[in-house]
């Protein structure tokens, strides 16, 4: 690529990076309010940028969002990035559009694993970092110690001298104030917005180069078709211009039907795009993330966006249960495949592969949480499907089996330390560090296989009575650490179809924990509970009480059942074994055996024993 010499001083492109729940989206809300995006008196939702229902419910950012504000006659494009490592693909493509980043750190919790994850990506991209220690109004805030931890983290990540000379601010994001020192009085975020203009370099470009844009995101409009979103690296673009798209499979020519740019949270039409701006192009059908859009006369590709390899795979298939098609609109394999392919288009960290079974697909991604979000989104869109247990992707290097290893950070009360250490040891975890701050809480670090963490989060919350914090970060591949027992309990399986009966369920309660309630539909092969012992048992949950003329029919009918907690998607994915599936519909989450017929399951188990 030719040397860049000019800068577009009218623009700044920044990302806001942080760990989950350190206040990124709330800070962006305040930036909107104080820069005049919303008119005086306008009613605005909190966390405007978290537009997906799932984001609002879970209080996390899942998809990176673009928006812009105007400050001191300059336009600032802001990208609100996810803080969760499972959405690392979102972070990587977001940073490809930026020249600087505001690193937001909680004044009490300090830099946590996902802070490290996104900061490492930002430093590798050479972004100018502005550090903002947020939530200094917390009762347990320790801003000075947190600042030392930020320095330690930057040094650990190999930051150069320029990156260590960062502008520092203290903020209360919720109140919309920022200041340079803890003793100052502050009323707004103006000092932080000024620093973005002064410290973050304006986008650089080559004034002689023709138009080049890197596609960093894709969207879809019912009116305009597929939309390509990305940053203009060189040159200018105009609507209705003839351009070319350079992808992995060569070059294709296209005509831009509409050119749009960000204004606040909205997208507005514009005639011209300037170097460094983040724009939305429509009129391009076969475009993928990482492609370059450029002029037909001088086509030259920009370096493609690269993302880390997927570490987890899951089988997605059609719903084959007797209740299939009763609750969802989209039930065919072609609909499921199209939806998954659409997901892979806009999510660079996801890969979808066909399998030998034409009704099933293999989806590979970063983690079980990312998979659960995709499934939850699909069921809300009216899909019915079955999914298998998440499995880690193993590699063979020089004849040795390697598996993904996570660096696990745990913050918990001292009394929970013993049970956590014991459970992680059984999951092949190795303790690397232990810090006791003397406040009754400890911070532990482990390395543990990714598969050892599947299903552990629920147990961890129970063991720490909800007070523990657990975060992990992919460290890389290492030698396979041996088999891990996944579950010490069996399944209680229905042997017939019908509806759950209170009398039958009451008599099954001593056998284990039930997942169904009276009147719930059941079918042969459906898992209705967790057995107290290791083996599976087949039961009849539809059995009613035989009445005789020796007693009054209503006298002892009233049985009292233990309350059944609704099965969540995450719990279901953690619970199932290799021979089990989760049936997901818009209204229900059910557990079932892969083979529904009890007789066939016995025959298969017999064959397995004989082979051993």
Per the CB < 8 A criterion, the answer to whether 479 and 525 are in contact is no
Percentage helix, strand, coil for the chain under 3-state DSSP, each rounded to 5 = 25, 35, 40
Q: Between the CA of residue 603 and those of 253, 489, 530, what are the distances in Å?
A: 59, 21, 22
- Is 531 marked as binding a ligand? no
Query: Does 21 show up as a binding residue in the annotation?
Result: yes
In 3D space, the residue among 182, 13, 229 whose CA is nearest the CA of residue 102 turns out to be: 13
Q: Is 22 annotated as a binding residue?
A: yes
CB 414 within 8 A of CB 485: no
Q: Strand 469-479 and strand 400-413: pairing? A: antiparallel
Neighbours of 355 (CB within 10 A): 12
CA–CA separation, 9 vs 6, rounded Å?
9
Report the alpha-carbon distance of residue 35 to residue 68 in Å, rounded.
Answer: 10
Alpha helix (H) residue ranges in 284-367: 333-346
Q: Helix 113-124 vs helix 88-95: angle between axes, to the nearest 10 degrees?
A: 30
Given a contact cutoff of 8 angstroms between Cβ atoms, the answer to whether 242 and 297 are in contact is: no
Strand spans (E) along 532-607? 537-539, 580-584, 589-593
The three-class DSSP label of residue 146 is helix
**No. of helices (H) and no. of strands (E), the chain:** 15, 37
Among 407, 410, 408, 406, which Cα is nearest to 443's? Answer: 410
What is the rounded distance in angstroms from the CA atom of residue 395 to the CA atom of residue 112?
A: 29
Using CA atoms, how far residue 193 sits from 98, 171, 177, 200, in Å, is: 16, 12, 11, 11
Q: 261 a known binding residue? A: no
Q: Is 393 annotated as a binding residue?
A: no
Say if residue 61 carries a ligand binding annotation: no
Of 136, 195, 201, 138, nearest to 168 by C-alpha is 195
* Rounded CA separation 305/64 (Å): 15
DSSP for 159-215, please give it: --HHHHS--EEEEETTTTEEESSTTS---SSHHHHHHHHHHSPPPEE-TTS--EEEE
Strands (E) across 192-350 are located at: 204-205, 212-221, 225-234, 237-238, 242-247, 250-255, 258-263, 266-269, 272-273, 278-282, 292-295, 312-317
Short-list 300, 306, 288, 285, CA closest to 248: 288
How far is Cα 172 from Cα 135, in angstroms, rounded to an integer? Answer: 5
Q: How far is CA 99 from CA 19, 121, 123, 158, in A?
A: 20, 13, 11, 19
**Spatial CA neighbour of 10 closest among 68, 78, 66, 76:** 76
Can you say which residues are annotated as belonging to the binding site for GTP?
A: 21-26, 134-137
Can you say which residues are annotated as belonging to the binding site?
A: 21-26, 134-137
């Amino acid at each position: 690529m030719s040397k860049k010499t000019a800068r577009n001083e009218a623009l700044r492109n920044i990302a806001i990076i942080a760990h989950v729940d350190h206040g990124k989206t709330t800070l962006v809300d305040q930036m909107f309010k104080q820069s005049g995006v919303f008119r005086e008196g306008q009613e605005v939702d909190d966390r405007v940028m978290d537009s997906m229902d799932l984001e609002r419910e879970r209080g996390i950012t899942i998809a990176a969002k673009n928006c812009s504000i105007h400050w001191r006659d300059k336009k600032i494009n802001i990208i609100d990035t996810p803080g969760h490592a499972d959405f690392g693909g979102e972070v990587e493509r977001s940073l490809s559009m930026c020249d600087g980043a505001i690193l937001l750190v909680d004044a009490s919790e300090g830099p946590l694993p996902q802070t490290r994850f996104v900061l490492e990506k930002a430093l590798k991209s050479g972004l100018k970092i502005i550090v903002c220690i947020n939530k200094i109004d917390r009762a347990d805030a320790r801003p000075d110690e947190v600042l030392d931890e930020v320095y330690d983290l930057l040094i650990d990540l190999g930051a150069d001298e320029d990156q260590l000379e960062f502008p520092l601010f203290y903020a209360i994001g919720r109140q919309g104030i920022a200041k340079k020192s803890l003793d100052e009085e502050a009323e707004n975020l103006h000092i932080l917005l000024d620093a973005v203009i002064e410290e973050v370099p304006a986008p650089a470009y080559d004034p002689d180069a023709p138009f080049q844009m890197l596609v960093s995101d894709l969207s879809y409009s019912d009116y305009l078709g597929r939309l390509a979103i990305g940053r203009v690296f060189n040159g200018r673009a105009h609507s209705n211009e003839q351009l070319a798209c350079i992808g992995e499979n060569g070059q294709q020519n296209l005509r831009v039907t509409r050119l749009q740019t960000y204004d606040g949270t909205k997208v507005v039409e514009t005639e011209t795009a300037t170097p460094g701006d983040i724009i939305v192009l429509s009129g391009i059908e076969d475009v993928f993330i990482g492609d370059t859009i450029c002029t037909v006369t001088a086509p030259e590709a920009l370096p493609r966006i690269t993302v880390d390899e997927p570490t987890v795979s899951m089988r997605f298939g059609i719903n084959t249960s007797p209740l299939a098609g009763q609750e969802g609109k989209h039930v065919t394999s072609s609909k499921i495949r199209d939806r998954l392919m659409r997901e892979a288009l806009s999510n660079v960290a996801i890969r979808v592969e066909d399998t030998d079974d034409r009704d099933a697909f293999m989806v590979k991604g970063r983690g079980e949480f990312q998979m659960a979000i995709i499934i939850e989104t699909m069921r809300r869109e009216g899909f019915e499907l079955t999914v298998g247990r998440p499995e880690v992707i193993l590699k063979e290097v020089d004849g040795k089996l390697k598996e993904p290893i996570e660096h696990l950070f745990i913050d918990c009360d001292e009394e929970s330390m013993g049970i956590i250490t014991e459970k992680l040891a059984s999951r092949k975890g190795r303790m690397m560090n232990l810090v006791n701050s003397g406040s009754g809480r400890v911070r532990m670090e482990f390395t543990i296989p990714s598969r050892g963490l599947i299903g552990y989060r629920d147990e961890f919350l129970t063991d720490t009575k909800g007070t523990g914090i657990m975060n992990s970060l992919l460290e890389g591949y290492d030698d396979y650490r041996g088999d891990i027992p996944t579950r010490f309990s069996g399944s209680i399986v229905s042997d017939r179809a019908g509806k759950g009966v209170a009398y039958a369920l009451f008599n099954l309660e001593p056998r284990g924990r039930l997942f169904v309630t009276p009147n719930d539909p059941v079918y042969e092969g459906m898992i209705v509970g967790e057995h107290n012992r290791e083996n599976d048992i087949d039961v009849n949950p539809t059995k009613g009480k035989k009445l005789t003329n020796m007693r009054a029919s209503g006298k002892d009918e009233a049985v009292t059942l233990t309350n059944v907690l609704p099965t969540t998607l995450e719990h279901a994915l953690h619970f199932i074994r290799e021979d089990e599936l989760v049936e997901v519909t818009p209204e229900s989450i059910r557990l079932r055996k892969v083979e529904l017929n009890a007789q066939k399951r016995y025959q298969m188990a017999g064959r397995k024993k004989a082979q051993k």
